[in-house]
Amino acid sequence: MRRAPLALLLLLGAAAAAQDSRAPGVDDRLAEASRQAEQAEERARSLAAEAEKAGSDAERLAARRAALAEQIAADEARITEASLKLAAIRREIAAREERIRAEKAPLSGLLAGLVIAGRQPPLLALVDSQSVDELVRVQALVESSLAALEKRARAIRADAARQRSMAEAARRELADLERRIAVRDARRARFAEEEAAALAAAQALTDAAFRADSQRIAVAENLADLGDSAARRRESRAQARALAQYDPAPPRPSQIAARPLRIEGPQGYRLPVAAPVRRGLGSLSEGGIRSRGLLLDTPRGARLIAPADGRIAYAGAFRSFDGVVIIDHGDGWASLLTGVATTLEEGEQVRAGASLGRAQGPVGVELWHRGAPRSPALIAGSSKIMSNGARTG
């Protein structure tokens, strides 16, 4: 019985004050997660406002997608914050449970000692003179410990109540975490839908632009074809009007073989030089002027001859031509030659094949009959001269 007071004192001093069980750095992580969530939510609100003010569908879609992305980022930060809070609450609950167990242990031992002491018959204490003193001390210790026991019991009951409150808070945080995860997943699905819609809209715009470009090319081609057709029709009408002024076409070769070919013109008419034809009768020049004769590709200095008998009606420069020679063959026939350097003078008589002068370059030959142009090549009847054969030097 001597050891009982000492044991009771040791049991009463074994319980220690509880310390904060939150791990170091948790508060900083919670503050950072909350700050990131608030910033992302602010950006999401700003982007949502921009989407409402967007002028075009493309701008509105882009702003809405950006707002959804920021909302998802805010949800992730809030989920992190809720997870940290839930973990902290669970650690606090575990620490309080451990503290309650530690505080209950000395009380249980003290109560067990009191029960043992209470079960000892009082008559046994009278056998030993020291037992009476021991019993008195134990009684005094028990009476003085009742207040401490009652205070410790109240603290344990308060801890148990706080533990129940924290458990309820943990359940709420868990429910909030699950809700935020569901919201995050729903926004991710919406973002995927917006992404698909954006891709579809971009593809539709690309297809529309391609169709518009194809239609533009088709219209341009149609306009070009119409322009070419109109130009060809105008040229055909102009050629028809010009050809209508000429004599009928010569007979076919079969008809020529059947009867002699009779072509009116100066006697023994020939071309002034054997040279390739650069431009024929009725062709259009670069300036849009229709040719009334032949343009022979004559080298400079080539010898020229008189195409038929006649009189020099004119020899000299005329407008833009340096060398113009007009020969009057009589009976309404006349030859006009350009690009000719000659020493003959107006009024001189020339014979067919006589020297007329030298070529200054390409020589133009026109044959006229009573004011109407005629084909000098046809009248000359020289297929060799009409070909691109050798030139006369």
pLDDT tens track for 46-82: 877 777 777 677 777 777 778 878 878 888 887 887 7
Q: What is the pLDDT of residues 335-390, one digit of tens each?
A: 999 999 999 999 999 999 999 999 999 998 998 988 888 877 766 664 333 333 33
Kindly report, residue by residue over 169-218, the tens digit of the pLDDT.
Answer: 777 877 877 887 888 788 778 777 877 777 787 788 788 777 777 777 77
Tell me: do 61 and 156 sit in the same domain: yes
CA separation for the pair 169, 348 (Å, rounded): 133
Give the pTM: 0.35
Same domain, 77 and 138: yes
Domain assignment present for 259: no
Please indicate, yes or no, if residue 219 is contained in any of the structural domains: no
Distance CA 167, CA 164 (A): 5
* Radius of gyration, CA atoms only, the chain: 63
| Pair (18, 139) in one structural domain | yes
Which pLDDT score is estimated for 312? Answer: 93
Report if residue 145 sits inside a domain: yes
274, 361: one domain = yes
Q: How far is 357 from 304, CA to CA, in rounded Å?
A: 5
Q: What is the pLDDT of residue 2?
A: 44
> Are residue 197 and residue 277 in the same domain, yes or no?
no
pLDDT value at 123 more than 60: no
Q: What average pLDDT does the segment 149-156 reach?
A: 72
* Spacing of C-alpha 34 from chain mean position: 39
Residues 247-266, mean pLDDT to the nearest whole number:
57
Domain membership of residue 138 as a residue range: 3-214
In a domain, 393, yes or no: no
Task: State whether 202 and 281 are in the same domain.
Answer: no
pLDDT at 128: 52
- Asked whether 197 and 75 are in contact (CB, 8 A), the reply is no
> Does one domain contain both 347 and 208?
no
Q: 152 with 8, same domain? A: yes
Cα separation, 281 vs 247, in Å, equals: 13
343, part of any domain:
yes
Tally of structural domains, the chain: 2
Distances 373 to 51, 284, 370 between C-alpha atoms, Å: 80, 15, 8
Question: Which one, of 241, 339, 324, lies nearest residue 290 by Cα?
Answer: 241
**226 domain-assigned:** no
Give a yes or no: residue 12 inside a domain.
yes
The answer to whether residues 202 and 338 belong to one domain is no
Is residue 381, in this structure, part of any structural domain at all? yes
